[in-house]
Amino acid sequence: MKLYLVQHGEAKSDKEDPDRSLTDRGTAEIRAVAEAAKRAGLKPAHIYHSGKTRAQQTAGIFADALGCPVEEMAGLKPSDDVHPWIDRIAQDNTELMLVGHLPFLQKLAMRLLSGSEEIPLVAFRYGAILCLGPTPGRFWVIHWILHPDLIPGLAS
């Protein structure tokens, strides 16, 4: 089982767009990362997003590229509690992609990797994928991170 955590793409400011849709740069980065993920053979069983416009757009781009079902799911908003997702992930044996926000994704990753939400083990970035996998023990490990700046032509 692998878990893919994706911070939504770069979004417009509240003033520019109250719905905070993706910027052109954010859309381009997500498309490039999604295509790289497709070439790498990623095929999550489900892609879940928070329902916020920027996460929905990000998840949709991944779903189109990877040919996976996409669905809005409760509990993925920035300040949501990570424990319901930890329980759900523990019961699910399929590959999942969660598209969401900080600080939720950061807290979820920290809890899976160390058992604590206080130890910052990884830095998230708009549009990056963090791939985690379980170990025989109680903690998870980082398998890899695909950062948009690693894709030729996208370096900022």
pLDDT in tens, 31-87: 999 999 999 999 999 999 999 999 999 999 999 999 999 999 999 999 999 999 999
pLDDT in tens, 131-142: 999 998 889 999
Contact 47, 62 (CB under 8 A): yes
**Number of domains observed in the structure of the chain:** 1
Using the Cα atoms of residue 90, residue 40, residue 102 and residue 50 in order, give the sign of their dihedral: negative
* Separation CA 2–CA 149 (nearest Å): 23
Neighbours of 67 (CB within 10 A): 8
Q: Does residue 155 have a pLDDT over 60?
A: no
CATH code of the domain containing 31 = 3.40.50.1240
Which pLDDT score is estimated for 134? 94
Task: Quote the domain boundaries for residue 108.
Answer: 3-10+20-129
Q: What share of the chain is helix, strand, coil (3-state, %, to 5)?
A: 35, 20, 45
Q: Does residue 95 have a pLDDT over 60?
A: yes
Neighbours of 147 (CB within 10 A): 19
Which pLDDT score is estimated for 93? 87
The reported pTM is: 0.96
User: Within a domain: residue 143?
Assistant: no
